[in-house]
Structures are given as structure tokens and as C-alpha cells.
Structure 1
């Protein structure tokens, strides 16, 4: 049974914020959407526990321009205790992107517990994109910046070359009973597990309008998360 299928999509938005982790207080965006943010857009449109997305490359149709905006945030992390927003609100400046558009080319991979053929999922994804349907509202880095989407129509990105440097690839959620920093659910499992988050980075470069995503990092991600590689 074929276990890998191809999908593609065009996404755009008025604002985007792909936060660089090295800035702790004020949020500063990467100049281009990260692979993890691109995966988040696809999962917002169509998600099933039997599949996972693997981003192959990202086309930069409109890189946007950097603008500084003042945003309301809360100082405390959401937990079991209710937060009184008026007491916890903070205003912080964020350096965001305005007027962006991207092409996302990706693969749908079946997980080990999947029993249906992969074309069933790629067809469902394409139908949702064509109809403008989604699982939850897709966004560009942060939930307040809504992402709009449509099928790719044969367009190509402009000949843009850009050195980005070290960029966040994705975050592995590693199960570890000795480091019970987080509680999270594994696809195909009913009970949450304990462990920690391990970020993965890569040296990113846009060449001729395309950001190529190193596929070897997906094998490392799956190894850390205990999936079959």
C-alpha cells in the first residue's frame, strides 16, 4: 500500500509572525514562514491521527515588509487556574510581517497505525482546499493573524535569494519519565504521556524564490518521538 502522497497549497495573509526563539520578551518574526508554521496551516485545514505532514519546500510569493505593532499579551501561561486578563495584560511591541503570500509543497505520510490508503487523505485535503473548508481557522504564526488559502494555480515565486541563517525547523515532543516537563498526546494513543520539548534547527536559505526543507530532519524528528523511521 502506498504510504506517501503529495499536496500543495497557496496561503496568504495581511499579517504574519513567525517568532524567533532567541528573542525572549519582544517578538521578532523570521523573514519567511517556518516549516513548523507551514505544517500548522495544513493541519488546520485537514487533520487526522493517521497522518502527518512533511513539508518539502516553500515558495515565497510575497515576502512582505517588516512593521512594528503594539500587541496585548498576558504575562502568565494558561493553566488550570483561571486568568483575570485585566490583571495579567501586558502591552509589548512585535516586529511582524505585513502582506505575505507563500506556496507550500508537502507530503502526507501514513502513520504506522493507518489502515486506509494515502490517496483517501490527499483527496480529502484537496477537496477541503477547493471548498475553503478547515478543521480550525488556519493562522500565520499566531492565532490573531488569519491565513487565507486556495489551490496552487501554476504560479511560481519571483527570483528571490535570501540568507536567513539558523531557523526553527520543528519541535519534537520526546517521551521521558525522567523529564516530566510537559504532558501531551500521541496520535493513535488514548492516554497522554509525559516528557519534554526538543527544538530542531537548520540553516535556511531562499534560492530562486524557494526555501528547501532538509528531509533528513524529519527522520531525526520521528526518531526523537519514537516513531518508525
Structure 2
């Protein structure tokens, strides 16, 4: 399988929330960015059916800091059957009154986050004869260097936008924090090969500010 050379992308923001799925109601973030969230940032800059991003490593550049807030959220969604009825019959109840469905919930976010994402992409079976690694490498470097993206990447929630900076291969990498900790079980990504997307987890550990994802063993 053809793959690109590794890239480095520095990402930072005022807040982040990489929600733990075991927290049913309240939003509580993981200690650091998840691989799936890192992949989402790269796909916001460059996504094509012909390539698939693979996260190699995450460097944590700032200490893990928390912020607790209470937010108003909508506690309901429009039922899928209402949407289906509107599509098939041309009418249906698609309105929702936010004032009636508003709920106040506590949330535990990260603040002042800063990471370096190490990643590469592989060509998929959807790559055509005109697709090649060099083409997409140059495309990603150009877009990331110019701040271009298909949509603004975010840290877990859309209200937490990401500022990103492409790091050339000859640039000196920023120093990660001098901290090691066991991060426990963390969401790795979703497996889309079955009938329903299935979450995959891995045992994450940070060594001197670096989380190595090259040889991850995942469990569903």
C-alpha cells in the first residue's frame, strides 16, 4: 500500500472537549486529544476518497488544565421518522421549540491546549489511475501552509475552533512537556466496516509528553 512521508501539524486553541463516551449526560473530556479527533482535523484540511489518514504520534506541548462550566443544551432531537415522513409525503413535523427542550448541564473542558500531530496518509482502493502520493502530499502542504480548509477544524465541539500551523520537515519541532502519565482506556476511532459504526479503544500512555500511536492494539 502506497503511503506518504510523515507530516507534522501544530494545533492549538482556547478550549477543547474530547468527550468520554462513558459519561452519559455530562460532557467530560479526555486528558488529551484522541486519535479520531486528530484525524478529523487533518480531514478538515484535506479529505479525498483516495486517501486515508493515519495518526502516528501526538506531542502535548502544554500541561493538562481543566475548566468547569455550565451550559444550556438542547435535550432532544427531531425524530428520524418525522424526517422520513416529510421526505416521502412532502409534509411532517420538523419544528422543535428550543425553549421547551433546553437543559442546563455541567461540562469539564480542557483549556489552553497545544499539540503537534504526526501523521501520514495511505492510498485507498478508491484511488484512480490519476491519483498518486506526490499529488496529495503537495496538495496537503499547500493547503495547510496557507491556512486553507474545507471547514474550520475543531477540538471535539464546533464551538472550540482549531488554529493550525504546518511544520516543515526541516523545522525544529517544539518541545513537548516533561510529563509521563497513564491515560487509561481512550477512544481510538470508529470501525465503519460493519452494519453499525463500532467504537475502538486502546490503552493510552504519555511518555515525556509524547503519545506513540504507531503500534496501537485496539479493542471494540
C-alpha distance after superposition, 1:28-67 (max 9, x if no partner): 1111000000001111111111111100000000134111
The residue aligned with 1:118 is 133
The residue aligned with 2:7 is 7
The residue aligned with 1:165 is 184
Deviation at 1:172, TM superposition (A): 1.1
Off by >6 Å, runs of 4+ in structure 1: none
User: 5+ residue gaps in structure 2?
Assistant: 84-93
- Contact (CA 8 Å) 1:32, 1:63: kept in 2 or not? no
User: 5+ residue gaps in structure 1?
Assistant: 176-194, 222-229
Per the alignment, do residues 212 and 197 of structure 1 end up closer, same or farther by CA in structure 2, a change over 3 Å counting? same
Q: Which has the higher contact order (CA 8 A, sep 6+)?
A: 2
Question: Which structure features the higher share of strand residues?
Answer: 1
Report how many aligned residue pairs link the two structures: 201
TM-score, normalising length from structure 2?
0.85
- Counterpart selection for 2:159 from 113, 135, 144: 144
The residue aligned with 2:109 is 96
Per the alignment, do residues 51 and 82 of structure 1 end up closer, same or farther by CA in structure 2, a change over 3 Å counting? farther
Deviation at 1:3, TM superposition (A): 3.5
C-alpha distance after superposition, 1:71-125 (max 9, x if no partner): 2221123543343322222121100001010000011111112131112112111
1: CA distance between counterparts of 2:155 and 2:190?
17
- Counterpart selection for 2:97 from 74, 84, 93: 84
2: CA distance between counterparts of 1:98 and 1:3?
34
Deviation at 1:5, TM superposition (A): 3.5
Name which one, 1 or 2, has greater alpha-carbon Rg.
2
SS in 2 for 1:112: coil
C-alpha distance after superposition, 1:140-199 (max 9, x if no partner): 011110011002242221222121000010111233xxxxxxxxxxxxxxxxxxx21211
1: CA distance between counterparts of 2:215 and 2:46?
22
- RMSD across aligned positions (CA): 1.9
The answer as to 2:127 corresponding to 1:107 is no
Per the alignment, do residues 110 and 134 of structure 1 end up closer, same or farther by CA in structure 2, a change over 3 Å counting? same
SS in 2 for 1:165: strand
- Contact (CA 8 Å) 2:9, 2:116: kept in 1 or not? yes
